[in-house]
């Protein structure tokens, strides 16, 4: 609690995508983002990870990063608030493995049932169709990381193999069932229609309001279409360069484009913003 209210700048909140943003697109490394991360941490600025990854993946990654802030999983499907940040969530008392989880999405069983039906009409594969070896080949994840990526509770990751026209039909059918698809770097995430990274950020801003007094300046960083809602819910939207595709169009009070990709681009822009707001 103290690290939040003792911010050494005007209230700032950093919210970030991982793959292709804070982590390199190719090798998932974050080393080059560490200087800016450590500086934000020392200044008491929360760094909220907002990702398509699962809670199991995030728990491991946060440990590697030394991050203890709340986080958002499976493309905005749930907010996870660590027990020590319970002051952010006054109404819920249920704590599982040290976290309060606030779901915005729907359960994965419902999503898998519908996808099983839709497989009769469209060509695609999902994470749960693959053996661990296939998953590692498709994602580039390590043998340790791949099983954690399979622990999905609110979304399914789809590798689309059909035409663009079929893709549009498929997305319309999802909408009829109160689901939607969000394109990340490699995969299409299928999740509850109400869940996206922006809706989760809005919920998180409300939770932080009593802590910050004034609403903080929200800096969001992303690289893909599934980040658009999060970037547009921010005061400063940062697009990390991705050689694989052009940056999405963003409407936000300020939009910054990094020159370098992945962790290097993340570090460059966050350092500049920390300079601007007078972080030590």
User: What residues line the site for Mg ion (CB under 5 A)?
Assistant: 17, 19-20, 185, 223-224
Residue of this chain nearest to Mg ion (CB atom)? 20
CA angle 236, 238, 243 (to 5 degrees): 165
The DSSP 8-state label assigned to residue 96 in this structure reads: B
Among this protein's residues, is 17 annotated catalytic? yes
Q: How far is the CB of 17 from Mg ion (least distance, A)?
A: 4
Nearer to Mg ion, 9 or 242 (CB): 242
| First-last CA distance in the chain | 20
Give Cα separations from 47 to 69, 72, 120, 128 (angstroms).
Answer: 7, 11, 42, 30
Q: How far is the CB of 209 from Mg ion (least distance, A)?
A: 27
CA nearest neighbour of 234 among 206, 264, 255: 255
Round to whole Å and give the CA distance between 277 and 237. Answer: 16
Nearer to Mg ion, 19 or 101 (CB): 19
Q: How far is the CB of 129 from Mg ion (least distance, A)?
A: 23
Round to whole Å and give the CA distance between 124 and 200. Answer: 28
Nearer to Mg ion, 9 or 52 (CB): 52
- Catalytic residue, from 17, 19, 69, 268: name it: 17
Nearer to Mg ion, 19 or 268 (CB): 19
Cβ proximity of 131 and 95 under 8 Å = no
Round to whole Å and give the CA distance between 192 and 168. Answer: 17
Q: How far is the CB of 108 from Mg ion (least distance, A)?
A: 21
Residues forming the active site: 17
């Amino acid at each position: 609690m103290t690290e939040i209210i003792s911010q050494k700048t005007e209230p700032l909140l950093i919210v970030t995508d991982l793959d292709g943003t804070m982590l390199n697109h190719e090798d998932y490394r974050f080393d080059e983002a560490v200087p800016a991360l450590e500086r934000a941490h020392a200044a008491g600025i929360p760094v909220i990870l907002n990702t398509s990854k699962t809670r199991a993946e995030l728990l491991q990654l946060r440990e590697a990063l030394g991050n203890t802030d709340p986080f958002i999983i499976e493309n905005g499907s749930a907010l996870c608030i660590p027990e020590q940040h319970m002051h952010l969530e006054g109404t819920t008392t249920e704590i599982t493995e040290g976290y309060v989880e606030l779901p915005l999405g729907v359960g994965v069983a419902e999503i898998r049932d519908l996808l099983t039906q839709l497989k009769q009409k469209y060509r695609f594969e999902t994470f749960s169709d693959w053996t661990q070896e296939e998953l590692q080949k498709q994602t580039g994840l390590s043998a340790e990381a791949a099983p954690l990526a399979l622990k999905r509770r609110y979304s399914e990751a789809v590798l689309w193999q059909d035409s663009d026209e079929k893709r549009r039909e498929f997305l319309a059918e999802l909408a009829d069932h109160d689901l939607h698809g969000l394109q990340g770097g490699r995969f299409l995430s299928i999740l509850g229609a109400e869940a996206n990274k922006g809706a989760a950020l809005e919920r998180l801003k409300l939770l932080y309001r009593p802590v910050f007094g004034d609403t903080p300046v929200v800096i969001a960083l992303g690289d893909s279409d599934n980040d658009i809602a999060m970037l547009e819910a921010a005061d400063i939207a940062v697009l990390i360069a991705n050689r694989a595709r052009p940056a999405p169009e963003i409407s936000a009070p300020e939009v910054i484009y990094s020159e370098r990709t992945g962790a290097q681009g993340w570090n460059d822009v966050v350092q500049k913003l920390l300079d601007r707001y007078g972080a030590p």
